[in-house]
Amino acid sequence: MVKMKSKSVLLLFLQTIIIISFFSSISYSKENTSLYIIPISGKVDIGMAAFVKRAAAIYNKDKNSIFVFKIDTFGGRVDSALKIVDYILSIPKTKTIAFVEKKAISAGALITLSCGRLVMKNNTTIGDCAPIMFLKEGPKMMGEKFQSPLRAKFRTLAKRNGYPEKLAEAMVTAGKAVYCVKWADKTRYMDELEIKELDKEEAKAVLSKKTIVAKGELLTMGDHEAYDLGFSRMSVANFDEMIEKLDLTKYDKVFVNVSWSESLVGYISMITPFLLMIGIGAIYTEIKAPGFGLFGIIGIICLFLVFFNQYFAGLAGHTEFLIILIGMGCLLLEVFVFPGFGIAGITGICFICAGLILSFQDFVIPDPKIPWQKAIFLTNIIMVLVSFVSAFFISLFFIGCILPKFSKIIKGPYLNTDLKGFHPALPLTDKININDAGFSYTLLRPSGKAFINDEIFDVITTFGQFIEKGVKVKVIDIRGNIIVVDRK
């Protein structure tokens, strides 16, 4: 009797465990059957890459869900597109779907083929991913050196997701013709070289050979062509029809939208050169002006926005920030400790330039196997150097023209004493003339005192340069009571 009761209790306990496990599995699957809809529209840039990175990271928390990427783009930056591809590839191919809503051109085609399945809306297009550069004469297709690694990427994605490899390569390179070759039991897409390498028996068994992509053309497909050529799973009238045909109606739709910070990254990336120029110029102007005020605040804000933008996009990190700080420290040493402009100042500028350049890219030295890295590296160098040079001239303009007028704009307090009974000083031309020589009596930064013709005069240097104490100088200009000097 006791044994029967023990068995009954044990059986009841097991039934309870089974029921709890059953309902737990139901609730788990319900919480993890979401359909994440991720828009990829507009220009492909670092802001879009940051957005897709965040969206793809959802898979780590919700591995039973499906990710649909709604594509509508003409393309953009190659490096950003490759980052997006890597983020999508971090999700299993059975969990990713590309839905071409309007167009998937250039980098958009690359992103589309990284998904496990492709569905296209009626009257949409995909293809034409040849790398181009913009010259004065207009866009120019880049050579084989650039096309080869992109072809390899398309080939890898096509092999992974079951798309025709040769046709995928034809989206990048216009120099190869691709044919549809049919046998009695199979059909293959081949280029001229592959056809020539067929053995005699296989070549004789060919039933037909049709040109799909002519030599000199890039593959661009409409939705029906993409279906016929083995890229698209289907053409649909709208997004809801795709959901129904793929049997995804049981999933809860979750729209992943671009956050304000990701939008800000995109906007800032467009005006980064101007922010750099304004920031550097404002900092230089602040160093030349006494105290700390408006220009210093503007400079810090502009440079902070530039660095924050790159940090949020995943291009800049603590190393780049440290390099820029070291550069700033060297400049402060040059201004406040060492007179003139020497090793510390040059070192500071070099460190700041290096930190800024590295913050605009995800590599240190360009990889010869990835040719666009060299192009990005040169572009970043030019952008930073042009910003520095432009900032220098802008700051000189502010120092010479704008700052002297601030006293007319900014109100008091002023002394109440008027100038009644004041006798103007004698013209300086009675005591000093152009080309008179002497030496700097104090540090000229850029103003100070100089000993000329056995007298001490208030002077200012040309172009705002620093001249250390005791250096020979000569007068190059006299503007009223302002004496302008330069090194002799």
Instruction: Kindly report which listed range (244-258, 297-311, 329-343) carries the lowest average pLDDT score.
Output: 329-343
User: With bands split at pLDDT 50, 70 and 90, how would you rate the model's confidence at 37?
Assistant: very high
Structure-block tokens of residue 65: 């869900």
Instruction: HSE, CB side, 13 Å, CA atoms: give it for residue 52.
Output: 30
- For residue 170, pLDDT over 50 is answered with yes
Most confident listed range (94-108, 167-181, 190-204, 341-355): 94-108
User: With bands split at pLDDT 50, 70 and 90, how would you rate the model's confidence at 328?
Assistant: confident
Domain ranges in the chain are 1-31, 32-174+218-255, 267-407, 428-487
pLDDT, mean over the chain: 81
Q: What is the mean pLDDT of residues 146-160?
A: 90
Task: Say how far residue 453 (Cα) sits from the centre of its chain.
Answer: 58
Task: Encode pLDDT of 382-405 as tens digits.
Answer: 888 888 888 878 777 766 666 555
CATH architecture of 32-174+218-255: Alpha-Beta Complex (3.90)
Instruction: Kindly report which listed range (181-190, 192-201, 252-261, 264-273) carries the lowest average pLDDT score.
Output: 264-273
Superfamily designation of domain 428-487: Nucleic acid-binding proteins (2.40.50.140)
- For residue 419, pLDDT over 80 is answered with no
Structure-block tokens of residue 113: 């083929």
Q: What is the mean pLDDT of residues 302-313?
A: 80
Task: Encode pLDDT of 65-79 as tens digits.
Answer: 999 999 999 988 888
Q: What is the mean pLDDT of residues 8-33?
A: 48
